[in-house]
Amino acid sequence: MINFAFQSTFKMEENNYLKDISEIKDLMSRSSRFISLSGLSGIFAGLYAILGALLAYFYIFPKHGEVLSLNSWNFKMLLVLLASVALLSIVTAFLLTSQKAKKNKEKIWDTTTQRLLINFLIPLVTGGIYIIIKLNSQHYGLTASLMLIFYGLALVNASKFTIGYVKYLGYAEIIIGLICAAIPGFGFWFWVIGFGVLHIVYGSFMYFQEKKN
């Protein structure tokens, strides 16, 4: 109840206090967090990323000694692959999350999810634009680490409006991104770890948490 008349603090039963506190916490959480995020979608995202990486490695990457030119067909295919992985992950996440929200009777589109989306997109779009700017000036050495770092920042920012654990994935991505920046030459592998392995690990963790509750 929103009317917290002072009389309530003098109720005799302890049960009522516990009920009050848990109702308060529930309202606070429900009004500011979107909890129906699906862990399963994380697992799929990871699988898509690894699949994409395999395709890139065996079919698109230049052989030893060759350099990836920005205007080549190879590079464009790489972008297409990247976009497909991202798109598939988003669509899967959306479908699974909507399904879960319906089950939880949580609204898919309200103030909370809008805030979630905006806070997630701000670092992500910023990163995307920055990476494109860098690519245009032929600096593509840092691309993988930048992607990981901005994605991690986006997750940490969005975590305030959804399940709190997401921020740990965000921290992990940021750390991987920074390590990637520090060790040049292995961008591809860090990308696989960050977008593939971490998503699967984290998604599984979230999924088992959901099953427990």
Partner 1 sequence: MSILVVNESADFNRLKELLNVTDGNLASHTKSLEKASYINIEKSFIGKKPNTRYYATQLGKAEFKKHINALEKLIKN
Give the dihedral of Cα atoms 89, 94, 99, 103; nearest 10 deg: 120
> Which residues 6+ apart lie within 8 Å of 95 measured at CB?
none
Q: How far is the CB of 101 from partner 1 (least distance, A)?
A: 14
Q: Does 102 bind partner 1 (CB under 8 A)?
A: no
d(Cα 106, Cα 96) in Å, to the nearest integer? 13
- In order of 37, 94, 106, 116, the CA distances from 113 in angstroms are 10, 12, 10, 5
Stretch that binds partner 1, among 24-32, 146-154, 164-172, 193-201 (CB under 8 A): 24-32
Residue of 42, 110, 156, 199 that binds partner 1 (CB under 8 A): 110
Q: How far is the CB of 119 from partner 1 (least distance, A)?
A: 14
Q: Does 28 bind partner 1 (CB under 8 A)?
A: yes
Q: How many positions of this chain bind partner 1 (CB under 8 A)?
A: 22
76 or 107, CB closer to partner 1? 107
Residue of 20, 50, 75, 84 that binds partner 1 (CB under 8 A): 20
Q: How far is the CB of 161 from partner 1 (least distance, A)?
A: 11
Residues 114-153 touching partner 1, rule: CB under 8 A, are: none
Q: What angle do CA 188, 123, 137 make, to 5 degrees?
A: 55
Residues 32-51 touching partner 1, rule: CB under 8 A, are: 32
Q: Taking a C-beta distance cutoff of 8 angstroms, is the pair 105, 99 a contact? A: no
Q: Does 83 bind partner 1 (CB under 8 A)?
A: no
Q: Does 7 bind partner 1 (CB under 8 A)?
A: no
d(Cα 151, Cα 117) in Å, to the nearest integer? 13
d(Cα 29, Cα 32) in Å, to the nearest integer? 5
Q: Does 111 bind partner 1 (CB under 8 A)?
A: yes
Q: Does 95 bind partner 1 (CB under 8 A)?
A: no
Q: How far is the CB of 7 from partner 1 (least distance, A)?
A: 11
Q: Does 14 bind partner 1 (CB under 8 A)?
A: yes
Q: Taking a C-beta distance cutoff of 8 angstroms, is the pair 11, 17 a contact? A: yes
Binding site for partner 1 (CB under 8 A): 1-4, 8-9, 14, 17-18, 20-21, 23-25, 27-28, 30-32, 107, 110-111
